[in-house]
């Protein structure tokens, strides 16, 4: 089960997402925290994969990463914690849940129970999707770990994260 979605479902069931939707200051704080987190993640990716002085050129084969530059895989606890933080700092997920779930709540039943059940179903579906992504990514792992491919993916991802974070912050401040 996807723990992040389950946390969102429980939070929505007790009204946290509804409170964020109605209380502009809390929504703004969470949104700016999320924007800051995106910029930090992007900057970290760009910093870790900045161009070394002896980088292979377009006509040279990929050089092995210098010692200490190759990314070790995240420990499962660290990966889960980072994913949970990313999800919790995205208020749109909770607001979407609050906007969609009420239309599926059966009349005459416990709202809390039905919301938790729908949240559990959502978490199971998300976990299945993420498992499919992991299996597919696992099959591509050897190609993705080639130094040039990995470095370019990290740079592109870092730039996109910074752009999304800055765009979210700008939209929050001006909107």
| In-domain check, residue 135 | yes
Within 13 Å, how many C-alpha atoms sit on residue 113's CB side?
5
* Residue 42 domain flag: yes
* Percent of the chain scoring above 90 in pLDDT: 4
Cα 48 off chain centre by: 19
The answer, yes or no, to whether residue 70 has pLDDT greater than 50, is no
Give 156's pLDDT tier (boundaries 50, 70, 90).
very high
* Residue 103 domain flag: no
- Tokens 């007790």, located at residue: 14
Residue percentage of the chain with pLDDT more than 70: 75
- Contact between 33 and 160 under an 8 Å Cβ cutoff? The reply is no
User: What is the model's pLDDT at position 160?
Assistant: 92
Q: Judge whether 34 lies within some domain.
A: yes
Identify the pLDDT of residue 61. Answer: 45
Q: What's residue 18's pLDDT? A: 67
Token readout for 110 is 């416990």
Average pLDDT (136-162) is 87
pLDDT category of residue 62 using cuts at 50, 70 and 90: very low
Whether 25 is covered by a domain: the verdict is: yes
pLDDT (0 to 100) of residue 53: 47
pLDDT averaged over the chain? 76
Domain that holds residue 158: 3-80+88-98+108-117+125-174
Of 71, 36, 35, 38, give the one whose Cα is nearest residue 151: 71
In the predicted model, is pLDDT for residue 55 greater than 60?
A: no
Please state the rounded mean pLDDT for residues 46-57.
Answer: 63
Please name the residue ranges forming H helices in the chain: 3-13, 16-22, 24-48, 76-88, 91-100, 111-144, 147-174
pLDDT tens for each residue of 97-129: 777 777 788 888 888 888 888 888 888 888 888
- Structurally, the chain folds into a number of domains equal to 1
Q: Tell me if 16 sits within 8 A of 94, measured CB to CB.
A: yes
């Amino acid at each position: 089960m996807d723990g992040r979605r389950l946390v969102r479902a429980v939070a929505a069931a007790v009204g946290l997402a509804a409170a964020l939707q109605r209380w502009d200051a809390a929504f703004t704080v969470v949104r700016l925290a999320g924007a800051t987190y995106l910029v930090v993640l992007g900057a970290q990716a760009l910093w870790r994969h900045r161009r070394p002085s002896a980088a292979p050129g377009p006509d040279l084969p990929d050089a092995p990463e210098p010692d200490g530059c190759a990314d070790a895989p995240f420990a499962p606890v660290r990966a889960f914690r980072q994913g949970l933080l990313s999800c919790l700092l995205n208020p749109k997920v909770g607001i979407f849940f609050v906007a969609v779930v009420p239309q599926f709540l059966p009349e005459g039943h416990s709202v809390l129970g039905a919301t938790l059940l729908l949240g559990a179903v959502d978490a199971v579906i998300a976990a299945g999707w993420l498992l499919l992504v992991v299996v597919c990514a696992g099959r591509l792992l050897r190609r993705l770990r080639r130094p040039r491919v990995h470095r370019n993916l990290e740079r592109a991802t870092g730039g996109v994260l910074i752009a999304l974070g800055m765009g979210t912050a700008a939209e929050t401040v001006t909107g």
